Chains A and B, each alone.
Chain A
Amino acid sequence: VPISLQVNGEPHLLDVPPTRRLLAVLREDLSLTGAKHGCGEGACGACAVLLDGRPIASCLLPVGAAEGRAVTTVEGLSDVGASLQEAFVAEDAEADPRRDPRDARRESLPLRDVPEDRAGDSPRLGTGGRVTSRTRTLQPTRVPRASLAVHGRRAQYWTTGPGEGRA
């Protein structure tokens, strides 16, 4: 069953699987490449489009879920958002979602509010504990170390055992 979709004010009937991601439909099937595949998991904002006026991550949305709804891409803003786009140029904050992921957030502002869920974004450790553990090898004792040519001595310098660190 074809999927009907309105994109930037134009109706489309698309013969694609409903599970195909909206971003792929826009970029590959409709050649609207303004939305980018930044991460593919809704984290970066480079794929943001408006769905019935609300910002969503098009890399996550199956196109079937957009059936009968209105999609606006950055190309579509040329009609309604020209002044907005000019303002971004004036501030050198243009939709250059690719310059820097930091800017992607900035760029996506007109399409999505500063996300509340990110406002308290704190760096997450993940499994970083392993790397964070104090490095016992980095506790050089003041042994003589005349020449780097002597590999054994270099090892001695760098590999004092656990618990042998200086005070």
Chain B
Amino acid sequence: VRFVKTQREMEGRFEDVWVLVDPEDQLETWPEEAELDLVGKPATRQDGLLRTSGAARFTVDVALPGMLHARILRAPVARCRVRSADLGAARSTPGVRAVLGPDGPFTMAGDPVLTAEPAWAGEPIAAVAADTAEAAEAGLAALAVELEELPPLELEAGLNEQRFTDEPRETVRGDPDGTLAAADVRVEVECETPAHVQTPLEPHAAVARWDGDGLTAWLSTQGMFDARRELASRFGLPLDRVRVISEFIGGGFGAKQGAGVEALLAAELARAAGRPVRLAISRHEDQVVGGRRSRTRQTVTIGAKRDGALVAIELAAVVDMGVGGWIFPVDEPALSLYACPNVRTMVFPVRTSLRAQNAFRAPGVVEGVTVLEQAMDELASALGIDPLDLRRANHVDRDQRSGLPYSSKRLLACYDRAAELAGWARRDALREPQEDGLLRGMGCATQIWWGGGGPPAHATVRLDADGRALVMTGIQDIGTGTLTSARIVAAEELGLDLDRVLVRGGDTGPNLYSPVAGGSMTTPAVMPAVRSAAAKARRILLGLAADVLEISADDLTVQGGRIRSRDGALDVDVVEVTGNLGNATIDASGARGPNPDGFRVNTFGCQIAQVAVDPGTGVVRVERVVAVHDVGRIVNPLGASSQAEGGVIQGIGYALSEELVVDPTTGMPVNGHLDDYKVPTIADVPEIVVDFVDVPDANLPNLGAKGLGEPPIVPTAAAIANAFAHATGRRATALPLTPARVLEALA
């Protein structure tokens, strides 16, 4: 066992980490031709019946004896100053047990959690905990806050005034100016992409309870270990005195990182009141303050030779950052998606009066692909080349930023398969006049994303006398089915049936570390640790079997819950062996090793959308989406196809209907409800055809599997926009393609 310094990637950001490497954990991947019993076969969710019966307890369902209910007072306009707040009146409101005001000392990492000078729409000013939610609201009203309103910061003015949250980012490769000017063909596309709200169906929520000097927090979070660290830091506790439980999480899509304001406030209110506190924010609050993929305005210029070979790309992207946050890799697609020697990208992070932008499923890359891929179609059109052929012609097999080869890339196979499934060869026939008067078209787009995972991640496996295995991981399953994937991998390696394996996660108390459920990370990071732990447990089991059955362990196999000798003479249920354990337990742990040096690990794919446009009403309907992705080995095809469908549907919302609109006079979002912020409903969902290349990445150890959380949303909106242009011959200058924009584009 030794410590190794390695590079860890998270959503395109690389950092050096030290990881513990146990040589015994380092397994070769199952070869492509290996016959596996469970991996690669569809499996239903381990917790499916808990979910369908209503028994699954989400954070908002946690009810503790004596629990108080908390509410937050938020800035009603984006920028303002609190002139006065009557904390005394709030404290004496019947039922109110704790009040935190804007001038208090409650800070996190030096920043106030509550503020008397809100700088963004909905920033928390005060918080109240009371016996009932109604009493908490009465307490907020009793504060009788007086405000001085200030004008919000707006994107246009911010651009003019160079009001950036950070230095603008420029990346140059080769000689973009000279080559663009001299290119045979140039196309330019301008497009605005909307502010896109994650909209998890469970809004942010936290329940906090103090037990003596320790804190237990039930959190709707994607990163319970991050939350543990933040809470320990804020309240001056050792890590082992903070326990975070996140067993069932109603979606996150990037919006639920770490502890969040909700957990900090719930814990502080609980400490002040001496009672457990639940803080579950409302749908409206969540739509306004939960986060978003920011609005962008992008201009992409592409220069190419007559044969379609790209010579130069230029991207200028203005991003409505809100008050700050990480600048997403909007520029990544221009730099990486296609072979191109000369590139200039510029990202301008403008400060406005919304909350800091936060991650949303493939942050940045969705925005970048959405515009770049429209420019590629314009180029195909200008050159008279088939759009898929243009993409094939500019295929690249290495990462042009680092110069490193991709660990594996089967994008060309994705193009071929998607074209076949979509009927691409007959796409122009769609444009012939239709009986229903609708304009039909088909468009494609390419997906790129990271998703290689990496260390650290740990898992333990224990086998008890009854021949059943318990897998313990730090996974927080935000609805993607990762616990079930762990079950499949563990059962495969242990040689047990699925129903003899139970996976537990969602609790930092008993479990070892797993990373945040983000960055398409959980499958590639955690499943290798699970397999390594299971492999150790299997070796111990077979050693025990060898002693019990008086045969060499090398002559034994375990499969389907049976231990057999290679000569076929012995064939017993594992319980025949484990039954000898009594109260003893076989236990083993596994740790995720580093990814190999010398490669970039990415995921790829292609989606093809068919749309029908009503030229009278401007309504666009997506009729069919074909999604083919290369994410290495598929662990659970059933879960994987659900994940892909969810990404496509979210991408349809981004393309057609979802847009957070801000009132310029107040800086407040005006459509923070589900009846006016339009996520697709079931009636909007088209036929979605999902397929995977499903070939293990031979350069990725252990499983050869990459992540699938983010890839499926990446190309959807671009494919739809391209299908719209194919159908109508027009291109809208802004998404989503609402009827008003469509009618404007068709006029």
Greatest chain B CB density within 10 A among A43, A123, A124, A155 is at A123
Chain B positions 641-689 with a Cβ under 8 Å from a chain A Cβ: 641-642, 646, 649-650, 653, 656-657, 659, 661-664, 670-671, 673-676, 678-685
Residue of B nearest to A159 (CB): B160
B741 contacts A by Cβ under 8 Å: yes
Q: Once bound together, how far apart are the Cα atoms of A101 and B202, in whole Å?
A: 9
CB-CB under 8 A from A85, the residues of chain B are 49, 52-53
A41/B55 contact (C-beta < 8 A), A123-B656, A137-B297 known: no
Q: Once bound together, how far apart are the Cα atoms of A132 and B246, in whole Å?
A: 40
> Other than the known A31-B63, A39-B673, what 7 A-B pairs have Cβ atoms closer than 8 Å?
A44-B283, A114-B683, A121-B683, A130-B661, A131-B295, A137-B159, A139-B190
Q: Once bound together, how far apart are the Cα atoms of A138 and B740, in whole Å?
A: 20
A-B contact number at CB 8 A: 229
B733 contacts A by Cβ under 8 Å: yes
A78/B201 contact (C-beta < 8 A), A38-B674, A99-B646, A148-B170 known: no
Nearest 3 CB-CB pairings of A with B: A34-B54, A98-B250, A99-B479
A101/B479 contact (C-beta < 8 A), A36-B202, A138-B297 known: no
B738 contacts A by Cβ under 8 Å: yes
Partner of B192, one of A40, A104, A138: A138
Q: Is the CB of B54 within 8 A of A119?
A: no
CB-CB under 8 A from B736, the residues of chain A are 123
Residue of B nearest to A97 (CB): B201
CB-CB under 8 A from B170, the residues of chain A are 148
Q: Is the CB of A41 within 8 A of B248?
A: no
Partner of B58, one of A36, A93, A138: A36
Q: Once bound together, how far apart are the Cα atoms of A33 and B53, in whole Å?
A: 10
- What's the tally of chain A residues with a CB closer than 8 Å to chain B? 72
Q: Is the CB of B60 within 8 A of A37?
A: yes
Q: Is the CB of A35 within 8 A of B740?
A: no
B638 contacts A by Cβ under 8 Å: yes
B107 contacts A by Cβ under 8 Å: no
CB-CB under 8 A from B295, the residues of chain A are 131
Chain A positions 120-167 with a Cβ under 8 Å from a chain B Cβ: 120-132, 134-135, 137-140, 148, 151, 154-155, 157-159
B316 contacts A by Cβ under 8 Å: yes
Chain B positions 712-747 with a Cβ under 8 Å from a chain A Cβ: 733-734, 736, 738-741, 744
Minimum CB–CB distance from A9 to chain B (whole Å) comes to: 15
- Mark each residue of chain A from 73 to 92: 1 if its CB lies under 8 Å from any CB of chain B, else 0: 11101100000011011101
A95 contacts B by Cβ under 8 Å: yes
Q: How large is the interface on B (under 10, 10 to 19, 20 to 34, 35 or more residues)?
A: 35 or more
Q: Once bound together, how far apart are the Cα atoms of A89 and B42, in whole Å?
A: 12
Residue of A nearest to B47 (CB): A94
Partner of B661, one of A99, A126, A155: A126
Minimum CB–CB distance from A154 to chain B (whole Å) comes to: 7
A137/B54 contact (C-beta < 8 A), A38-B674, A148-B168, A154-B168 known: no
Interface pairs (8), CB distance under 8 Å:
A31-B63, A32-B54, A34-B54, A74-B53, A92-B44, A95-B52, A114-B682, A131-B192
Chain B positions 621-657 with a Cβ under 8 Å from a chain A Cβ: 638-639, 641-642, 646, 649-650, 653, 656-657
Q: Is the CB of B659 within 8 A of A89?
A: no
Residue of B nearest to A87 (CB): B52
Q: Is the CB of A122 within 8 A of B670?
A: no
B61 contacts A by Cβ under 8 Å: yes
Minimum CB–CB distance from A162 to chain B (whole Å) comes to: 11
Q: Once bound together, how far apart are the Cα atoms of A88 and B639, in whole Å?
A: 13
CB-CB under 8 A from B650, the residues of chain A are 100, 102
Q: Once bound together, how far apart are the Cα atoms of A75 and B671, in whole Å?
A: 33
Minimum CB–CB distance from B672 to chain A (whole Å) comes to: 10
A46 contacts B by Cβ under 8 Å: yes
Q: Is the CB of A92 within 8 A of B481?
A: yes
CB-CB under 8 A from A123, the residues of chain B are 656-657, 678, 736, 738-739
CB-CB under 8 A from B680, the residues of chain A are 102
Q: Is the CB of B346 within 8 A of A122?
A: no
Q: Is the CB of B670 within 8 A of A126?
A: yes
B57 contacts A by Cβ under 8 Å: yes
Minimum CB–CB distance from A28 to chain B (whole Å) comes to: 8
Partner of A122, one of B49, B251, B617: B617
CB-CB under 8 A from B248, the residues of chain A are 98
Residue of A nearest to B190 (CB): A138
CB-CB under 8 A from B510, the residues of chain A are none
B222 contacts A by Cβ under 8 Å: no
B162 contacts A by Cβ under 8 Å: yes
Q: Is the CB of A124 within 8 A of B676?
A: yes
A103 contacts B by Cβ under 8 Å: yes
Minimum CB–CB distance from B109 to chain A (whole Å) comes to: 29
B135 contacts A by Cβ under 8 Å: no
B348 contacts A by Cβ under 8 Å: yes
Residue of A nearest to B742 (CB): A123
A67 contacts B by Cβ under 8 Å: no
CB-CB under 8 A from B29, the residues of chain A are none
Q: Once bound together, how far apart are the Cα atoms of A6 and B160, in whole Å?
A: 63
CB-CB under 8 A from B734, the residues of chain A are 131-132
B142 contacts A by Cβ under 8 Å: no
- Mark each residue of chain B from 251 to 289: 1 if its CB lies under 8 Å from any CB of chain A, else 0: 100000000000000000000000000001011000000
A131/B661 contact (C-beta < 8 A), A37-B60, A38-B283, A105-B682 known: yes
Minimum CB–CB distance from B517 to chain A (whole Å) comes to: 12
Q: Is the CB of A92 within 8 A of B642?
A: yes
CB-CB under 8 A from B61, the residues of chain A are 27, 33
- Mark each residue of chain B from 31 to 56: 1 if its CB lies under 8 Å from any CB of chain A, else 0: 00000000000001100110111110
Minimum CB–CB distance from A83 to chain B (whole Å) comes to: 11
Residue of B nearest to A142 (CB): B181
Q: Once bound together, how far apart are the Cα atoms of A31 and B58, in whole Å?
A: 13
CB-CB under 8 A from A38, the residues of chain B are 201, 283, 674
